[in-house]
Chains A and B, each alone.
Chain A
Amino acid sequence: MVYERDLNLEATELRLGLPGTVTEQSSEKQKPNSNATKSNKRSLPDMNGESEVRRENSSVSSNDKKSHSQETAPPIKTQVVGWPPIRSYRKNSLQAKKLEAEAAGLFVKVSMDGAPYLRKIDLKVYKGYPELLEVLEEMFKFKVGEYSEREGYNGSEHVPTYEDKDGDWMLVGDVPWEMFINSCKRLRIMKESEARGLGCAV
């Protein structure tokens, strides 16, 4: 309607963006927004970190010219210059704080029944459960059994458990990784005999 393709008005449009930037402004405003109530809450990542890929995909599709900026959540790295309109001082200080929070480790104590002293590990360093379990096995010289949702860790003398924010002792591996590292306060490697009952299916 406004942008007749052959005149290529878009190319000569006066705008305040820096040269070379691409704005997310959609010229096809008459198309209805089918996704009006899309929430910005992150979908819960699952154990294999698939959500990371999913998140990337959604930001890629929102950069696709065919989809409209109003249909998808704002891309993680916005391409719109100067939006939202907050002072660069404020933007920089928020980003600095965010990076600081991300850079700070998430150190938790790890105890093993029978071991003389505890260890501490930084959960932020690991990408998922397999890596974490491997490190724990190495640190405390034990082997963890096969994990299944129904039966927990089958066939080992030791079971990894953790204390969550509510003070409850949980089996490591049940919840998505992101959720785990945000709620884990400390780890405890229990003897299998004590751990019976933790891995039972509901």
Chain B
Amino acid sequence: MNYFPDEVLEHIFDFVTSQRDRNSVSQVCKPWYKIESSSRQKVFVGNCYAISPERVIERFPGLKSITLKGKPHFADFNLVPPDWGGFVYPWIEAFARNNMGLEELKLKRMIISDECLELISRSFANFKSLVLVSCEGFSTDGLAAIASNCSFLRELDLQENDVEDHRGHWLSCFPDTCTSLVSLNFACLKGDVNLAALERLVARSPNLRSLRLNHAVPLDILQKILMRAPHLVDLGVGSYVHDPDSETYNKLVTALQKCKSVRSLSGFLEAAPQCLSAFHLICPNLTSLNLSYAPGIHGTELRKLIRHCRKLQRLWILDCIGDEGLEVVASSCKDLQEIRVFPSDPFVGNAAVTEVGLVALSSGCPKLHSILYFCQQMTNAALITVAKNRPNFTRFRLCILDPTKPDAVTNQPLDEGFGAIVHSCKGLRRLSMSGRLTDRVFLYIGMYAEQLEMISIAFAGDTDEGMQYLLNGCKKLRKLEIRDCPLAMQRF
């Protein structure tokens, strides 16, 4: 391989896209390291403090796209002090100073200021994509800077960020010459937006394929937007409260009839249950449905909607769907691969979702391999049945709202149940457990969970033997999240 000219190697490496594979390639020999590093365009940094921006710039001078993760996962649950860090400014400042041709920036759990957003918008002429997930530290003023200055912006995707809202003028900052938008997601913004500016923006964005609105966009505007963007693939409905007999509703039906490409639906941030039949038109083509921010949708209306979603692959839902609703999912959505059931009342929990729903899903959905399930209770028997039904789980995350609750029927710890899961699901990569658990469950995990890469444990185990079983057994373990477990920490 050393006899190939560099250009040929570079061309071959172009086909190697995954981060891990490129890392492997770079470790083969020095020449490969050099070529791979100089040609790599997409860089992923899982911990923003693991490496300095200068080092990244030095190694990857051709960098165009970077993903940075800041605070650890536990920060999502208030387990990390607020001043922990995760500031992106040093990175942007370094990139700007070194004239990097940055085009894409994706941040998760980081702090980004308005000044930083302004700097991004002015420093990188080809900047195309900004994706912020669970970030904070900025306001709509920063968004205004991005809108105003990034002439070739394709993607502005804000997911679950804490944004200070200075009211809606940022949308008007997109110049009339900006026609390149492909994806716009501002569902997490709390304030009003300039609706006329939004309509005009959609009208001049022929490539728009993904649009997620916030609660301030009412139904009549949604209808107008859909008429202008019938090629949407991903739609996040904002507010959805109206009188079903109105003219607007009929216009909405007409608009939805034209939207034959919608595959992903979310939002319904304010929804009145009786209005959903218009969406039955697009349900048959949906592969992804996220109603986890729509507590207003439940009961018969929800079940009716789901029955129409025969091609669904991904479902995010609230526990007010109930076991009964999950049984409808199990019988209607045979292509389902991933499901997340979130709690609608974080502290009291809804008695409607139990082990019954989980068993139904495992039995009815043959392709289901990824689950996040917040429930009231669980039993070993149910977990054993689930393990038997569905050995193809790769991600299994179970959260019982009372974190140390034992088997609801036998009062035993849930060791046997989780043991069955790890034994049967040979491809399991991610596991989160809850409920009463002793060292025994770690024995099972250590013995059987050979592919396990990430595990989250809370309030589990008795002694450090549990930790020993885990660390000795799971050779592929990369991420360990542990809180409130009575284990002697000196083992670490």
Contacts and interface: CB of A to CB of B under 8 A. Distances in A.
A2 B74 contact: no
Contacts of B81: 18
A70 B76 contact: no
A69 interface: yes
A89 B354 CA distance: 25
Nearest to B270: A97
Contacts of B236: none
Contacts, number: 131
B245 interface: no
B293 A74 contact: no
Given A40-B349, A89-B188, A91-B346, A82 B483 contact: yes
Contacts of A80: 403
A79 B387 CA distance: 33
Given A81-B79, A87-B134, A40 B348 contact: yes
Given A13-B486, A86-B77, A89-B162, A69 B402 contact: yes
Given A3-B486, A40-B351, A89-B162, A25 B459 contact: yes
Given A40-B348, A89-B134, A83 B404 contact: no
B345 interface: yes
A90 B76 CA distance: 10
B438 interface: yes
Interface in B173-224: 188
B128 interface: no
A44 interface: no
A14 interface: yes
A86 B459 contact: no
Interface string B396-433: 00010111111111110000000000000000000010
Contacts of B76: 85-88
A88 B188 CA distance: 13
A74 B484 contact: no
Contact of A14 (B79, B405, B489): B489
A72 to B, nearest CB: 9
B111 to A, nearest CB: 14
B473 interface: no
Counting chain B CB atoms within 10 Å of each CB, the highest count among A3, A17, A69, A85 belongs to A85
**Residues of A in contact with B, size category:** 35 or more
B411 A82 contact: no
A94 B346 CA distance: 8
B462 A33 contact: no
A84 B407 contact: no
Contacts of A3: 486
Interface string A59-81: 00000000011100111111011
A37 interface: yes
Given A70-B406, A81-B79, A82-B78, A95 B346 contact: yes
A51 interface: no
Contacts of A39: 351
A74 B161 contact: no
Contacts of B410: 36
A70 B399 contact: no
A111 to B, nearest CB: 24
Given A70-B406, A70-B436, A90 B411 contact: no
A16 B79 CA distance: 6
A134 B108 CA distance: 56
A148 interface: no
B347 interface: yes
A1 interface: yes
Interface string B453-483: 0001011001100000000000000000001
Given A16-B79, A40-B351, A69-B402, A86 B342 contact: yes
5 contacts: A76-B347, A84-B374, A85-B77, A86-B374, A89-B134
Q: Which 3 A-B pairs have the closest CB atoms?
A: A82-B77, A89-B160, A82-B79
Interface of B: 74, 76-81, 134, 160-162, 188, 292-293, 295, 342-349, 351, 374, 376, 399, 401-411, 432, 436, 438, 456, 458-459, 462-463, 483-484, 486, 489
Given A13-B489, A76-B348, A88-B162, 12 more contacts: A15-B483, A16-B74, A29-B462, A36-B409, A40-B348, A70-B405, A74-B348, A82-B77, A85-B77, A87-B134, A89-B188, A94-B346
Interface of A: 1-3, 13-18, 23-27, 29, 32-33, 36-37, 39-41, 68-70, 73-78, 80-91, 93-95, 97-98
